[in-house]
Structure 1
Amino acid sequence: MKASVRPLSLKISEIFLSLQGESSRVGLPSVFVRLTGCPLRCVWCDTAYAFSGGQTMSLPDILAEVARHGVAHVCVTGGEPLAQPACLPLLSKLSDAGYAVSLETSGALDISGVDVRVSRIVDLKAPGSGEFDRNRWQNLALLTSNDELKLVLKDRADYEWARQLIVDCQLAALCPVLLSPVEGELAATTLADWILVDRLPVRFQLQLHKVLWGKMRGR
């Protein structure tokens, strides 16, 4: 008698409907699937509650919950979603189901196994994050025009690092590049002015969900 095969499962922090607050998809109604766990500890992390806890859900249950919300866009985030191996089949199953899928990842883990239909939003860690040494630079060579790079900046030193990286590595030729200020550390207008002075080929962004709802969970 064959043993039954248990469906793959993941530890889920939360699944909720909101407007996409970042990336080129900003403003789009999206279902967010936030996975539990992260090997990084960025000093400005705003989702530390996802480091632990959550509930174990099977892939079929996750897909059913996503479908219940009835929108076309899905964002898989964390924590660091790629820290759970079953994240890869989840991304593929969501793509198979016809969703436009994006993945928010720190860039500290290998992105090569991510389904090619998924837009990988890679958050390169600036020196001020405290996790600069965790950047997996090999990921840059894997980026396509379907992906995006996000750089969150704390101060002028972070900006200078980002500007040099954008020029030296010709990042804008790889994929769209997004620059964001750390809330409470770098004024949004200051970063916007720096970008304009230097004519950087990037997109400035704020976290729309925080503008609308502050730090409310599930938004």
Structure 2
Amino acid sequence: MSASVHLVNRPPPATILQATATRSRLLFLIETPWMHPTIPAHRVALLTTRPTGTLLIHEIYRSLQGESSYAGLPCVFVRLSVCDLRCKWCDTPHAFGQGTPMDPAAIREQVLAFDCPLVEFTGGEPLLQPEIHPLMRQLLNDGKTVLLETSGAHDLTPVDPRVHLIMDLKCPDSGEVARNRWENLPLLKPSDEIKFVIASRVDFDWMIATVREHQLAERCSLLASAVFGSVTPLQLANWLLESGEQKIRMQLQLHKYIWDPQARGV
């Protein structure tokens, strides 16, 4: 069985801003649109080992939601294995190369056993496994609030509109800015969220330029998260206040402050 991977080969509808730092000043270079790169096959090869109809799951656990507008609430996390991106600051590389094939019915049963109203699908990259869609619909029909955290590199069209999307827009220092699928922006609902992970001042200024170019503050909620250990909360707070932007919400990864930053299953 081959992995179901959506390869994007269309350019984004708008030009992309890349930032180059020169001491205290930043020069933005506007480049022509480019083609999305091909997914390296070895990154998703593990998906070919799972039996038909199953999902490759890294872990299922209950904790506090550490990010988004749901931060602080009890939540059941379903972490799917495998990701086709390699963000330089990724904090879940352990999910890339191992996982347990599970029947969607067994996953649903385990999630319902926690008796928690909030469920998040994360990864890895959940949208690499299309079997996730009927499972999310089932949990929505069970009365759960379902969150989907995704890299933004894959088509959102198949996602049930009842799902609360938390979509990344990858900044330059992630190393994966070329994978942003700009065609997804019109698919976002006002209740959805776009997350920018900020590793530097270059990333921050790219975020501000992107928010303004695409008028994202009028589209949905916006989140700015500092890379733990690279940008301090104080730095990000000061940059936001100085920017004059009124609709970008700063967030901290609560679980990294409550528990050990390297702890899993939290």
TM-score, L = length of structure 2: 0.79
Number of the residue aligned with 2:86: 41
Residue of 200, 203, 207 corresponding to 1:162: 207
Number of the residue aligned with 2:20: none
**Equivalent pairs, count:** 214
Matched-pair contact (CA < 8 Å) for 1:41–1:131: yes
TM-superposed deviation, 1:199: 2.3
Number of the residue aligned with 1:104: 149
Number of the residue aligned with 2:160: 115
Number of the residue aligned with 2:9: none
What are the superposed Cα offsets for residues 192-219 of structure 1, whole Å, 9 maximum, x if unpaired?
A: 1110111212100010011101221100
Residue of 119, 142, 150 corresponding to 2:187: 142
What's the RMSD between the two structures over aligned residues?
A: 1.2
Residue of 40, 61, 64 corresponding to 1:16: 61
Number of the residue aligned with 1:3: none
Task: Tell me the distance in 2 between the aligned counterparts of 1:69 and 1:182.
Answer: 30
Task: Tell me the distance in 2 between the aligned counterparts of 1:59 and 1:125.
Answer: 30
What are the superposed Cα offsets for residues 28-81 of structure 1, whole Å, 9 maximum, x if unpaired?
A: 100000000100000000000001211111111001100111110000000000
TM-superposed deviation, 1:7: 8.4
TM-superposed deviation, 1:8: 3.1
Task: Tell me the distance in 1 between the aligned counterparts of 2:244 and 2:139.
Answer: 38
Number of the residue aligned with 2:264: 217
TM-superposed deviation, 1:162: 0.4
TM-superposed deviation, 1:143: 0.7
Asked whether 1:208 is paired with 2:208, we answer no
Task: Tell me the distance in 1 between the aligned counterparts of 2:53 and 2:75.
Answer: 24
- Between the aligned residues of both structures, percent identity stands at 48
Task: Tell me the distance in 2 between the aligned counterparts of 1:171 and 1:91.
Answer: 26
SS in 2 for 1:93: helix
Task: Tell me the distance in 1 between the aligned counterparts of 2:92 and 2:139.
Answer: 23
TM-score, L = length of structure 1: 0.95
Would the alpha carbon gap of residues 84 and 68 (structure 1) be closer, same or farther in structure 2, given more than 3 Å must change?
same
Number of the residue aligned with 2:133: 88
SS in 2 for 1:165: helix
Number of the residue aligned with 1:179: 224
Letter in 1 for 2:117: A
Number of the residue aligned with 2:173: 128
Unaligned runs of 5+ in 1: 1-5
Number of the residue aligned with 2:11: none
Number of the residue aligned with 2:45: none
Letter in 2 for 1:71: C
What are the superposed Cα offsets for residues 163-196 of structure 1, whole Å, 9 maximum, x if unpaired?
A: 0111111111110000011111111110111101
SS in 2 for 1:16: strand
Number of the residue aligned with 2:238: 193
SS in 2 for 1:209: helix
Worse-superposed segment, 68-77 or 195-204:
195-204
